Copies of this chain bind each other. A is one copy, B any other.
Amino acid sequence: MAVKRSGPDAGLGEFIRRQRELGHLSVRQLADACGISNAYLSQIERGYRNPSSFVLKALADGLELSADTLYAQAGILDPSDGEAGDVAEAVRRDPYLSARQREILIEMYESFRKVNDSD
């Protein structure tokens, strides 16, 4: 599946460590806040382990940044996913729409915005 597997090679880990240090947190403090063991966090930071989705989310919360930011660092999120107003966001989060329907609604919304700009 092409995705980078473990090994001392972790951009994500380095980023987490830097964020942790910026927040003046010890390995144990952040690990506790995330509900994981300090040993495990240490290994994640040095690229010897890949966190599960739940742990990644917990880390994002503990570091007070969005999961998307961590994903971006993990190299698994297109930075282009960024922007989007509240409407587009609400559409993306709606669990009852198909991908195609979301696409249509967002496109229509953005075309409305565009038209209004030139007023």
Contact = CB atoms under 8 A, between A and B. Distances in A.
**Which applies to chain A's interface (DSSP): helix, strand, loop or mixed?**
helix
16 contacts: A3-B35, A18-B95, A50-B52, A53-B56, A53-B76, A54-B74, A57-B77, A63-B99, A67-B68, A84-B94, A84-B95, A85-B93, A86-B94, A96-B113, A96-B116, A105-B112
Interface of A: 1-4, 15, 18-19, 22-23, 34-36, 50-58, 63-74, 76-77, 81, 84-87, 89-105, 108-109, 112-113, 116
Given A53-B76, A57-B76, A105-B109, 20 more contacts: A1-B54, A1-B58, A3-B34, A3-B55, A19-B95, A50-B53, A50-B54, A52-B52, A52-B53, A54-B74, A64-B99, A66-B68, A67-B68, A67-B71, A69-B93, A86-B93, A86-B94, A87-B105, A90-B90, A105-B105
